[in-house]
Structure 1
């Protein structure tokens, strides 16, 4: 099955929250690619440890787990049968996050069918129990990627007559932990410093950071100072704000990329 995707080599790791598995990461290479080596394995171990810190489910003692740290919203146009007619790439990304419960190579060949069926179900809600048309529906969806809001509405033609077009405005409120992890990834910090920054954002002391990362206290303090210097900060309370700002800037940059592609006709 994987050979159809040219996935002849697999590097696989389990993402854990303490002793509880919460996900998996798999890397694939083709038959002609070099084999995975020790350096790749070390990279995966560091990535798993970094993501485990960012996606842990245990709420911070300093602040409650929150949604809506980063908000994005994109508009797409589809037909009543769920076929996408006009939509930016970021809208399509949100639809995939909503429609595909699990993203894995074995489900990649089903993506178009699953996404189209998901969109079709949303569109059918614009018909009441008696078949009468409804102008607009509003629904909420929860997923590991955040809280989603979908507003579906009929699009009339230029003369106000009903046509086979539906506008879907999709918004996402991102969990704080995921936003912090994305912000750390965009910070330019080293892998070790990103781990330290996430723990600082979670309200951890230097001693707690040392225990969590199995470091000596002096080493943990050194990394904290490096985080402050690299991010140009003066106290611990600023770390969370900076990481969330970097996460927000990442969403803004996605919008700029979409706009540039639209302008060039890509």
Structure 2
């Protein structure tokens, strides 16, 4: 998402560095970042460039299609291709209308994945583990090294997110206190059987509730939140309500009025450069 400079300015943001727009002086944001008790980021198209469960599904479809020995292969492949087509049509409509909200696709994905061995998605997630944006680990390290509680709030799936964060912990020495997302249930044969009803998050208000719950759990007086699209709008609202810091990474224009900072770049380096002085 490229910056809309006119809308950024009308939302009260001004450019403070290449690719960085802030509300007021950057020093004021840094002062609050330095007092952070909790740091939360979205994952898909935020920490990682793609919708990770979608990319994992592509890999799984290829696996099912190219390996004749997969159990129940033909009906499984037919179901996945049918629902993948429906999801692609929904995504295309969103792109044409500009009304992009990935949470709408979550229910369709549940139907696509039904019956697929969970291990297939875990293997597919491992293929994505090094695709995170540059400076994501370094940014989290700033907070973690100071003892700030860090985690992810996403509308994605635990079977993918768990593997991605576990790799970041092992490879980069990070320690995620939590990841809140939709959880999957498996049948007796280890196959995808749907979402856990009590841990199914399909609308953006769920992110607000999850952020609020984590702030209350950790008694956090200052939260710093990174997000990007309409699914993060309510989470940004909650951060602002708590006088926290809302940072958009390549954010959609609808989020501009809620942001303390908007960062546009090919990766997280401008974000890291923006907030790192708070940790000197």
Shorter-chain TM-score category? Answer: under 0.3
Instruction: Tell me which of the two structures has the higher relative contact order, counting C-alpha pairs closer than 8 angstroms and 6 or more residues apart.
Output: 2
- Please give the TM-score of this superposition, normalised by the length of structure 2: 0.24
Using the size of structure 1 for normalisation, the TM-score is 0.25
Larger radius of gyration: 1
* Structure with greater strand percent: 1
